[in-house]
Amino acid sequence: MKVNRFDGDQWWGVLFADQLVAVSGAYPCDDFEKNGWRLLFRSATLKKFRSKAGQFSRNLNHDFCYGHILPLQREYAKKAGAEFLFFTTNTGHTGDKGSNRADEFVRRVLLPLREVELYKENFDYYDCKQNIWRLASSN
């Protein structure tokens, strides 16, 4: 984990039966635009809890990170003055299978719902090819 690596980083977690089953960070980041925040940083969910956060739905209620943590991060960042909200997904063969599935998920689900827009594609960010996704609420 990269806790306290960035100034102002914040972390959200989901506890179930006294076990941390999902975690995700967010931090202020002006790498692309002023008053930016990177959300869903270092997100992870234990394998047996993936897609188990609730009933499957288009609002992603079934996913801990996208359906439950992301809205809290968005709200927190907005209260902190964020104007540009983004997250990244690994692209191609540069990441592990889980990271690449996240990119496919965003393209298949969030993009058609207009929840995100592709801000930069296959961008070299932290020595890894990534897609930069801007959240629609930051427009």
In a domain, 5, yes or no: no
In a domain, 123, yes or no: yes
Contacts of 45 (CB under 8 A, 6+ apart): 14, 21, 22, 63, 64, 65
In a domain, 94, yes or no: yes
Distance (Å, whole) CA 52 – CA 42:
19
What is the residue range of 121's domain?
10-138
Distance (Å, whole) CA 117 – CA 132:
9
Tell me the pTM. 0.83
Beta strand spans in 46-128 (E): 84-90, 116-124
In a domain, 78, yes or no: yes
Residue 87's domain is classified under what CATH number? 3.40.630.30
In a domain, 63, yes or no: yes
pLDDT tens digits, residue range 63-115?
778 877 899 999 999 999 999 999 998 886 655 666 677 888 888 888 998 99
In a domain, 4, yes or no: no
In a domain, 2, yes or no: no
Question: What are the structure tokens assigned to 68, written together?
Answer: 């439950």
